[in-house]
Amino acid sequence: MITRRALFAGGLSLGLSALPRRAPLSDPFRLGVASGEPTPGGVVLWTRLAMEPTAPDGLGGMPSRPVPVHWQLAKDENFRHVVRRGTEQAVPDEAHSVHVELDGLQPGAEYFYRFKADGELSPIGRTLTAPAPGTRTRALNLAFTSCADYQSGWFTAYRRMAEDEPDLIAFLGDYVYEYGPYQHPVRDQAGGECLDLAGYRLRHAQHKSDPDLRLAHAVAPWAVVWDDHDIANAWMGGELEPGRQAAAFQAYYENMPLRRAQKPEGTRLRMYRSLRWGAVANLHLLDTRQYRDPYACADGAGTVGPECVERFAPGRTILGKAQEEWLDGELSRSRATWDLLGQQVFLMEMDWVNGAGEGYSNEGWDGYVASRDRLAAAIDRYGRNGVVLTGDVHSHWAGEVRRDFRDPESKPVAVELVTTSVTSAGDGLDEYPNTAALLAENPHVKFFNGRRGYVQARLTQREMAVDFRSLPRVTTPGATAYTSGSFVVEAGSPTLFAP
């Protein structure tokens, strides 16, 4: 396939070991290109100029003046049929990032794009617009993953995901980690703990300078939501140190292919929103971090026992009132076959303690049971095919969301697919000594795999086919991915079948 060859050749030429096409300091496109937020006929094109991605001031070695960036969008990868072109100013206040919001394109179409600055051409990106509203015939090939700690390993999962050429990549949080250096990192990262704008900008730039990540951005549009580490460990909204939250928000926007609707004003940033894929799927991207009530029965995130009744308090919310109402409205109006809920933390009930005794995470929806009950009720009431897409826990899981977990006879109303991490937690194991016991004690949970990787899902009007993709290792580069579990969900029946 021509497309594939050109893109992957472009991707490879970005590798640090490849022959440089230019003098080392003259390439302003070291962070690659990206696209995101597809609509029927629209998409965002992104790049950020940086000649020295790990410059300590976070500004990528760029001059403190605006730089004009020309862009082209074409129907073909040779740019013979350019359909749009324009110029944006990349300004120092936005770390020389560019977000081009396009509309009025052909729905359900493939496009190619590139940028030019200082006489240099960027790598080529491929992107897609969403199918027109009501389109029933176009499948959605979705890939999703989470948790890419640079110090914990190689970004092989991003490359393997790119090689599948999905239509859309959903990233469910922890795109960066704010941590300072580890004692024994797999890869050395630049900079210390992210505490200010320079620190977050530098961390994002270092990630984007990774060739596997750049390839994944160049191959398909992305839809991103954040988790705590994109700001700070166990963040639950609000300020940690003066200016830190605003700095994390600003760097997140600058480095992601987001619309201006997600551009922060200080510490205000609305992350929750919906994307639509014809009549096949709506993807509702949720923010379970920013508006949640405080952790139940503890000062911070952790496992709480049966004595913790606070987690059942009817007023508790993990989404916040406004987001809950918005989501209820989205579900009530949805006419798509599938309603995907892209979010951060475990939604199913999960007893994490083997044998006698119980332990529930107060960080996941188990700490906000009433919130979960209201969502399950809404999915049930509106007759939706709900699919919860989750990150955060650095392992693959699949299970069924019950209408009411306190009633063992309660029917499932949705399925949950939990993706493992790109690198976080290191190589891992397929199974752990307690895996069988955990699955036996939580009968609605059907699958676990403890390696790194991503999830592939193919959604049609009739069914969703899911492959959990795993890597034998991330502590060295280049691992081959394998399928550690496969499931099929039929529209109208929220249960997981092993094919």
Binding site for Fe ion (CB under 5 A): 147, 174, 424
CB of 393 to Fe ion, least distance (A): 8
CB of 228 to Fe ion, least distance (A): 8
Nearest Cα to Cα of residue 74 among 38, 127, 13: 127
Residue 16, exposed/middle/buried by CB under 10 A (0-12, 13-18, 19+)? exposed
Token code pair at residue 383: 């007759």
Q: CA-CA distance, 98 to 251, in Å (whole number)?
A: 13
> Do the beta carbons of residue 318 and residue 367 sit within 8 Å?
yes
Comparing CB distances to Fe ion, the nearer of 147 and 169 is 147
Comparing CB distances to Fe ion, the nearer of 14 and 170 is 170
CB of 359 to Fe ion, least distance (A): 20
CB of 335 to Fe ion, least distance (A): 34
Comparing CB distances to Fe ion, the nearer of 92 and 300 is 300
Comparing CB distances to Fe ion, the nearer of 182 and 497 is 182
CB of 490 to Fe ion, least distance (A): 32
Q: CA-CA distance, 155 to 150, in Å (whole number)?
A: 8
CB atoms within 10 A of CB 271: 22
CB of 179 to Fe ion, least distance (A): 11
CB of 498 to Fe ion, least distance (A): 28
Comparing CB distances to Fe ion, the nearer of 385 and 421 is 421
Comparing CB distances to Fe ion, the nearer of 256 and 281 is 256
> What's the sign of the alpha-carbon dihedral 364, 370, 371, 374?
positive
Comparing CB distances to Fe ion, the nearer of 61 and 302 is 302
Nearest Cα to Cα of residue 386 among 401, 396, 398, 373: 401
The 8-class DSSP code of residue 343 comes to -
Comparing CB distances to Fe ion, the nearer of 111 and 155 is 155
CA distance readout (Å), 154 to 49, 422, 476? 23, 8, 7
At 106, give phi and psi (nearest 5°): -70, 130
Q: CA-CA distance, 339 to 384, in Å (whole number)?
A: 7
- Measure the CA dihedral 59/233/35/483, to 10°: 130
CB of 252 to Fe ion, least distance (A): 15
CB atoms within 10 A of CB 180: 13
